[in-house]
Amino acid sequence: MTNSRGNGRVIFHIDMNAFFCSVAEINDPSLRGKAFAIGREGSYKGVLSTASYEARKYGIHSAMSQVEAFRLLPSLKIVNHDFKSYQKYHHKFVDLILEYTKIVEVASIDEVYADMTEISKKRHPIILAKEIQYRLLHELNLRASIGIGPTLFYAKMASDMKKPLGLTVIRKKEKEEKLYPLSVKDIFGIGKKTYPKLIDNGINTIGDFMNLDNKDKIINLIGKAQYDYAYEHIMGNSTNIVDPNRYSDSQSISTSQTFDVFKTTAEELIYESRAMVREVHYRLTKDDYLAKSIILTLRDSDFKTFSRRTTLDEYTDDISVMNEIIADLIDEYFKPGTSYRLLGVGLANLIKKDNLPKEYNLFTINDETEKEIVIDNMVREFQDRFGKDVIKWKRGNNNGK
């Protein structure tokens, strides 16, 4: 982080708190303070997109089936999606941030990175952050947590530390004080399949992860490439570049089919959708993307076309989640007695995995690290297939030989 006397960068990560629920509360103020979730109203079918903080106290969360959510809290209220409203308030949110800096990177519909370096030379970053929080709350009725740091990773970690309405600063010199006590599951980029391995083997905190005495154990558990990548981010040696065009090439993936024999039942449409989900899923994973929005398009025999979508809190490449959401959308919007001539399936709000071995990440890496990860993965894959003794992997020393 910097001030008028420094040369570092000041990065804000501005994360809307329960964004879809906040928009629902704007549209229906009676929801405020109540346990509710965004999903399929009036049904036990479906998957939740998100839940209010009051509902989260009961263990209810994004991507949970509505059946399971009702088991946890029978009185839970489900509110339908309102994507037009989400887009409306997303644009209002981004436009407000653009009043402070034009260097804004939209990470998803409810979060952005903003380079506040220049304006921070004249105004203290914490005062700026408090002003932004105040304006979002009082002008737009949106709650936000803001993380401030010298890198995108530090800013993201900071914004996650306190919700809702949190404001946290992490400087490189404060990493041991503020990051090391956190659980390893809080490391951004360490996935849900990875951190349990670490915890099961005694690596409970970020401090444990950074302890060089544990290095060999951790590498054996998650691989050297991911270890090095996480280690460097925690040390503060990751990107500080906010790129407004980082995801400009990742708009959507879709496919559709026109039927010679019109489909007249929801079951027929769900059956046809399976192959289409497989197709878009293949294209998604082939190009190393994750999706946050799943889209259904239907056209009836009168050529009336409509699209509906479900947007999750988290990015996914889980084909079972995609199949379930498409089936839910078909069940919900299929009209008995109507014949359908076209079915479309799409994925939107995409993000690149950015070459991470496991979970997605918003950060770039320098060329040498990228090359090392690629080579390391190639060698490991070769050894897995043909045996560890077939090829020996020896890294060079620091003098470049």
Among 124, 150, 170, the domain boundary falls at: 170
Please report whether residue 393 resides in a domain: no
Do residues 161 and 194 share a domain?
no
If one counts the domains in the chain, the total is 3
Co-location of 82 and 112 in the same domain: yes
- Residue 58 burial (C-beta neighbours within 10 Å; 0-12, 13-18, 19+): middle
- Provide the 10 A C-beta neighbour count for residue 189: 21
Question: Does 127 reside within a domain?
Answer: yes
Note down the domain range covering 239: 174-244
Give the C-alpha distances (Å, rounded to integers) separating 206 from 152, 171, 218, 382. 18, 16, 12, 31
pTM: 0.66
Q: Are residues 88 and 65 in the same domain?
A: yes
Which residues does the annotation mark as catalytic? 111
Is residue 359 domain-resident? no
Whether 385 is covered by a domain: the verdict is no
260 lies in the same domain as 332: yes
- Min mean pLDDT across 78-82, 111-115, 351-355 is at 351-355
Domain end: 244, 279, 294, which one? 244
Q: Is residue 371 part of a domain?
A: no
Say if residues 237 and 364 touch (Cβ distance below 8 Å). Answer: no
For residue 246, name the pLDDT band (cuts at 50, 70, 90). Answer: low
Q: Are residues 136 and 28 in the same domain?
A: yes
Residues 187, 164 within the same domain: no
133 found inside a domain: yes
| pLDDT given for residue 400 in this prediction | 37
Q: Are residues 179 and 166 in the same domain?
A: no
User: Which of 118, 137, 170 is the endpoint of a domain?
Assistant: 170
The verdict on 17 and 135 lying in the same domain is yes
Confidence band, pLDDT 50/70/90 cuts, at residue 259: confident
Domain match, 274 and 320 both: yes
pLDDT, greater one: 310 or 31: 31
Q: What's the pLDDT at 398? A: 41
Residue 159 clears pLDDT 80, i.e. is over it: yes
pLDDT classification of 364: cutoffs 50, 70, 90:
very low
Q: So what's the pLDDT on residue 349?
A: 85
Whether residues 151 and 54 fall in one domain: yes
Identity of the residue numbered 277: V
Stretch 76-87: mean pLDDT, rounded? 89
Query: Rounded to whole angstroms, how far apart are CA atoms 336 and 103?
Result: 49
Q: What is the pLDDT of residue 355?
A: 37
What is the average per-residue pLDDT within 155-164? 95
Residues 153 and 203 in one domain: no
Secondary structure, 3-state, 109-129: CCEEEEECCCHHHCCCHHHHH
Q: Is the pLDDT of residue 367 over 50?
A: no
List, for residues 95-144, the tens digit of each pLDDT value: 999 999 999 998 878 899 999 999 999 999 999 999 999 999 999 999 99
By percentage, how much of the chain surpasses pLDDT 70?
85
Q: Are residues 82 and 198 in the same domain?
A: no
Asked if 142 and 135 count as a contact pair (C-beta separation under 8 A), the reply is no
CATH number of 130's domain: 3.30.70.270
